[in-house]
Amino acid sequence: MKWIVKIGGSLFPHNARKLLKNLLGENIIIIAGGGELADKIREYDHELGFSDIASHEAAILSMDIMGILLADLVKGAKTTHTIKGAKKIIKDGKIPVLLPSRILHYLDPLKHSWKVTSDSIAFYISKLIHANLLIATNVDGIYTTHPTKSEAKLINEISAKKLLTFGETAVDEELPKLLLKYKSDCYVANGKHPQRILSIIKSTETTYTRIRGDQTWQR
């Protein structure tokens, strides 16, 4: 498996279903973002002050829930809790939607913080299987400022070191640190346009942002 595609919760349900249908037949693993479920947990946490571990585990479980629901919408998709299960699903001609809670609970590799979301989780799992990470979200990539502003410009390529100065963008705040730590790249693209996601997988020209984790690279 060369790619993990994280389908952001912002795409659920209709755009997420359309994207997943278009990815059938590809040798990839899907991870779903927690979407509005994770947002609600964060809202409750701000109000009630849960422990870091309770918030972290609940947010990861929201990814499982969204993955289960997404897979149910697409014939040919199947959920699994393990990498071994994902490989078998691909061998059987289907597309695996990996539910990450058991892997994350067992290994517990990431900070228990709202700066760590499904982006960082998907990246960590991509490192476990030596795959590339493609984050499909509801915008074209990383912008110079908030994408709703008229002066916002899409950045085709940016260093993770520079992205650290941006705060929260289309990806979580911890992801650039992980990219630097592991000297890895990832791609961010608009999942409302499935062909763009397929083009990245197939190494053809399209619209996206590449985040580079090479510490010597600046832009």
For residue 135, the cross-strand partners are: 6, 188
Q: What does the pLDDT read at residue 25?
A: 95
Q: What are the structural domains, with CATH classification, of the chain?
A: 3-212 (3.40.1160.10)
Residues of the chain with pLDDT under 50: 217-219
For residue 32, the cross-strand partners are: 7
Q: What does the pLDDT read at residue 74?
A: 98
Q: What does the pLDDT read at residue 172?
A: 94
Outline where DSSP puts E strands in the chain.
3-7, 28-32, 77-80, 95-98, 132-137, 142-143, 154-155, 157-159, 186-190, 209-212
Number of C-beta neighbours around residue 200 at 10 A: 22
Q: Residue 129: CB partners within 8 Å, gap ≥ 6?
A: 1, 4, 29, 83
Whole-model pTM: value is 0.94
* Residue 14, burial from CB neighbour count under 10 angstroms (0-12, 13-18, 19+): exposed
Q: What does the pLDDT read at residue 219?
A: 45
Write the single-letter amino acid at 177.
Answer: K
